[in-house]
Every structure is written in structure tokens, then in C-alpha cells.
Amino acid sequence: MKNEKPTLLIFAAGRGSRYGGLKQLESIGPNGERIIDYSVYDAAQAGFGKVVVVISEEFEQKFTEEVLPEISKLLHTEYVVQKLNYFTENTPYSKDRAKPWGTAHALICAESKITTPFAIINADDFYGREPFKLLKIFFEKERNENEAVLIGFKLINTLSPFGSVSRGILKLDENQFIKEISEGTKIFGQGSKIFRELENGKITELNGENFISMNIFGFYPSIFNEAKKSFGEFLRENAFNNDAEFRIPELVNELIKAGKLKVKVVGTTSKWFGLTYKEDKLLAVRNINELIAKGEYPENLYETIKKEK
């Protein structure tokens, strides 16, 4: 697998409840470019060979009409629809269930489209070019199938000025391998400091220089079999819990604990921005315009691609 170009798997099935709409379609570039367009552009520049996008049924028509024709100009693109009945076999589940089963379920929905090492990202998160380069470098080295990588972002580089955020808090060993990922909710900046509100209402201070997870991993295809086994167990326990989700961090924790996966954290100095709240859009537009002014991206992404071809 050393010489194969990796695949980029993008999760775009989220419903955007806090944002109040389909964040995947929001334009942030001067010519209608979305965050997903810039992510695929960065992956192509870093040497990825293919894109697979996981979408919801409600997003399928808009995706095939508005997004797919554009990103396919950058890299060969395929998509899969995340449906509630996929991989549920004969296990009955709540008829009132509306939300998707979570990111780890989205992962296994994409199995048929992926045969190479692959990275996962979220459609509404802007990561910058460096993380894609780091992922490509990781895959270029000879590794075991039970190894994976997480691109760690400094917490201080991942906050929204418009509200609290949830981030993956990492416990690492002395060699920068993950011991555990836990969800840190209600994280917010105040002046030059960063705080987290715990469930009991207690406020604790966090170190902004520590690496956290933004759910940008690199895996080998062997992860699919383990994910399917874990989803079967999850479903048996949570089939009638309408809020339960089968997420990537929980899957990773389970496999690390069982000795089936080692995950190395590779840090990046890239600054994240994304669309968590409606107010984030103006900031995203400003940030992308600054990057264009610095020459990191062309002013018209697709016009540039057309000329290059």
C-alpha cells in the first residue's frame, strides 16, 4: 500500500442543528466556494487520489446538483448515502429515530468505496493545507495495518468567538500515542485564557497549547471490519435510544483499549475555522479572503483549475 494514493473520506451527513441549516452548502469563497471545495483542493495538492463523501438522503439532490460537479473537477469523487437501515441487519430499532447513527456508522457506510489508506474529515471544518501533507507523509512510510494517525490541533487554534465548542481531549503516552480521547464540551475562550464548564457546573482552565482532536484521522481499510463488529454491539445496546450515536472517538478508544489499534498524534500549527454558529460564516469569509490575499489559494478556485487543465 506504500505507493497508493490515499483517499479522502468526508463526512457531510450532519444536520447542522446548532447552525440552523445545511452548513455543507454555505459559500465562503469570493466565487461561491464552500469549505468542502477548499478541503478537496488541499487534498489534491497534497497528493490524494480520490474523494468519497458521505451524505444524508435529504442532502443528496443538492449535493449531486451543486457540489459534486465542482469537486469532481479537483479529484475523482464518489459518494454514499448514510441510511439508518444500513448494517442494522435484523436488529429492530426505534421508528422515531431521525438523526444518523453517528460518524463511525458513516465510516462503515463508505467501506465499498475505499480500498486504499484513507483520511477522514468533516465537511464544515476548514483544516488548512498542512494537515493533508502530514497525512500523506504518514501513509508514505511502511506501517502496520493496526496503526493510525490523528492530526492534533492546538486548542487555542480551534475556538469560536461566538460560543462554546466541543473538542476531543487527548491523553497521550510519552511517545505521543493516544491513551484515550474524551469529549470536552462547553469549551470557551475568555480574554487570553481558555475554560471548560463541566457537567456539575464547575469551571476548569485548559492549556491552549495542548493538542486536541478535530476528528481528522488517517486509517487503513482494516478498520472497517472492527468498526462493523463494534457497531453491532452498539446497536444491541442502543437501538431504542434516539439520541445515542456511534462516534469515531468511541470506536478508537475501544480498539486502543483492546490492543487492536495504535494511534500516533502528529501536531499541526494550522488554524481551524468552521461553521458551528451562524455568526461563524462572516469570520470564515474573512479568513479565506486573507488566505487568498497571501497567495495560498486562487481567487477563483474553479476558474484556476480550468486554466490549468
User: Does pLDDT of 289 surpass 90?
Assistant: yes
For 142-175, the pLDDT digits (tens) are 778 899 999 999 999 999 999 999 999 999 999 9
Q: Is residue 30 part of a domain?
A: yes
Taking phi over 0 as left and psi of -120 to 50 as alpha, with beta for the rest, 295 belongs to left
Is residue 1 domain-resident?
no
Q: Is residue 277 part of a domain?
A: yes
Q: How many domains does the chain have?
A: 1
Q: Does residue 213 fall inside a structural domain?
A: yes
Domain presence at residue 78: yes
pTM: 0.94
Give domain status of residue 2, yes or no. no
pLDDT digits (tens, 9 = 90+) for 254-279: 999 999 999 999 999 999 999 888 89
- Residue 302: inside a domain: yes
Give me the domain span that covers residue 21.
Answer: 7-308
CATH number of the domain encompassing residue 179? 3.90.550.10
Mean pLDDT, the chain, rounded, equals: 92
Q: Is residue 16 pLDDT above 60, yes or no?
A: no
Q: Tell whether 166 is covered by a domain.
A: yes
